[in-house]
Chains A and B, each alone.
Chain A
Amino acid sequence: MRHLFEIYRAQLKVTTATQLQYRVALVIWMIGIVLEPVIYLVVWATVARSKGGDVGGYNARSFAAYFLVLMLVNHLTQTWVFFEFEMRIRQGTLSPLLLKPVHPVHADVAQNVTFKLLMLVVLVPVMVVLALVFRPVIHPQWWGLALFAPTVLLAGVLRFLVEWTLGLAGFWSTRVSALNQIYYVALLFFSGQVAPLSLFPHFFQVIASVLPFRWTVSYPVELLLGRLSGRDALLGLAAQAGWILLSLVLLRVIWRAGLRKYSAVGA
């Protein structure tokens, strides 16, 4: 365990050094993560105003709150392992990773965490400016405030596990990018990135709650905004925990099967 901690620390340093080499790329990426929610925010605020100030319980300022918190949660939970895996398997860069006496997932976790922390330094000031412009309001319960950080953490873990596992599809197919596209479109809608899930039809909400999507992004946002009952909040925690356990099992099983395949057909 201590050894693993040391690996993480060393990997953290390497990733930081690497990321700082690409300041321009970081800025472009930043624009991406900020721009999308801001566009939805402007659209929905306009709709709310034209409908007399309210759409499904959201007015312009609560939409602002929704999309600003979403921006933060989306950043904190997102990964790019999906793209990486395809390249790794196709270009054979996975092989050297397999020959190291440590599971490759750890390097990914460390890189992911480092990147998020680094970017937070830029994202937070941007969010402050946006808050001054759009003047969001939230009405959280005390337990909503207390549960926000832990649920974001769980959401991050869950999303990482789900996307890492899906990335393993690269062991069987050289066209993972197609799967990737489908996944991202699904994520966009089902995780509440286009609009709060409560604005969608009921059956749509059921799908979002049965699949892991809602628990990876939307749920902590709803919690902080004070839109969940105590019972729903607890159910959410249970859903996160359940999906994390299931994903862990799936990751292990699929990873093993993938490696068998990889080492059968040529690495």
Chain B
Amino acid sequence: MDRPAPTPDGPPGSIADVAAGLEREFAELGDWDARIARVLALGRALPALDPAFRTEDHKVKGCQSQVWLRVDHDPRSGRLRLAADSDALLMRGLLAVVLRLYDDRGPGEILAHPADVLDRLAVSQSLAPNRANGLHLVIKRIHAAALDAPGGHLSAEGGTYDAAQPR
């Protein structure tokens, strides 16, 4: 099969690898103050979403903070590109974690990965329920986009289609 053009392979390692790395990273930070400081630092480092995409369509409703999520399917790589933003720094930090897990991944890989990964992260264990709910809504939306993407529904039905491969 000839690929139309050489594309980058996406982030190294699987989503599970990244999740394990995040779990290690936050566990090593030890106390809660250090973990929250890390989340806030991640929030400051997250690139701002183009204000043109801060629309009602991109808004994830049900979160305590305003949250916007943009999901684009890259037809060349077959992967989903994510961008997200919030008016609250803490939420931006949590969105940065979500993006590290799911950005630039194939729909199949996203759907195959258990969505409760954030619950296992030390950082998530310190969240207010309403923040956790907001985060869950973001992940739900990413899953919905993965399901809608070419190949997504095949993966969800247990097919072996590799969404990273061009059709």
* A and B assemble together: no
Q: Which residues of A contact B (CB under 8 A)?
A: none
